[in-house]
Amino acid sequence: MSHSQPISHAVHILNVEPGYEGQRIDNFLINYLKGVPKSLVYRILRRGEVRVNKGRIKASYRLQVGDQVRVPPVRMADKAEPSRVDSRLLDRLEAAILYEDKRLLVLNKPSGIAVHGGSGLNFGVIEALRQLRPEERQLELVHRLDRDTSGCLLIAKRRSALRRLHELMRGNGIDKRYIALVKGNWHRDRLEVNVPLLKNTLQGGERIVTVDPRGKESVTRFSVRERLGEWMLVEARLLTGRTHQIRVHAAHLGTPILGDDKYGDSAANKEIKELGLKRLFLHAETLRFRWPEAKQDEVFKAALEPSLEQLLNRMRAQLN
């Protein structure tokens, strides 16, 4: 979409570029007029103040390439300039890009960085990438990772790619595998956990997920990669994508993920901290999917950060 940021006192004429076709005009305006109440967006649509190709349209109108959209002046809340992301963080994210083409960017997200701003955070990965790639006007997260989880994160560079990837996700067409270090041992090398999860919000706004029959179906397949005495390095494959799914399922098995302050075991966390673990040991290692028109899979693999590799080596050395 060729435009600059909306200014409250000016009429804007926008030209719809490829990638935005098919989007409803109300959703487009809500996104374009960030900070404007939705009620105001629907009011200007009802009054006919928004025009497409000089004609009135309904909120359900779907944009087409080449449409000329007239956006009237709107009174916007005075907003501070968006936070500029620290250049050191931008450098870290630039170095963490695993792959990039016309449709897609794949990042090995560092632990400790949220995927998007909000809930007290001025910015996250997506805001930083938009600052890093100002010419890419359609950057969107395809999925999310918890703030403390590292690894493969998909960012679409075209709305058409975002739609296709979301279709694949809905049909289980994206194979996501994580690795985690857990406390304890299982008798078997493979386990499937199929217990429903319910998302709750605590008074402080913190989200907590519990195993609850009223929750949504949630399925994780675990397999043991390596047994390290009283610990195990395990692979987790998500068959559903619920909030905190792997962390809650691992804890449900009695083998919580190490470094997990929310669902973990504080004594085990203290013990492993002394060995050098300073974060949640959960890492999105591989992503595999196939574009509908392609003959072979796209496979992306994110290496563990050196501190986690060093920790595993120290644990192996202790066993010998």
Annotated catalytic residues are 146
Q: CA 28, CA 96: separation in Å to the nearest integer?
A: 31
Which regions of the chain does DSSP assign to beta strands (E)? 12-15, 51-52, 55-56, 68-71, 97-100, 104-109, 140-141, 150-156, 175-183, 190-194, 197-201, 207-211, 219-228, 231-238, 282-289, 298-301
Phi, psi of 252 (to 5 degrees): -60, -30
C-alpha torsion angle, residues 59, 73, 65, 31 (rounded to 10) = -70
Q: Is the dihedral of CA 64, 69, 75, 76 positive or negative?
A: positive
Whose CA is closest to 192, among 266, 263, 249, 264?
249
Rounded Cα distance between 82 and 47, Å, is 31
Pairing relation of β-strands 282-289 and 150-156? Answer: parallel
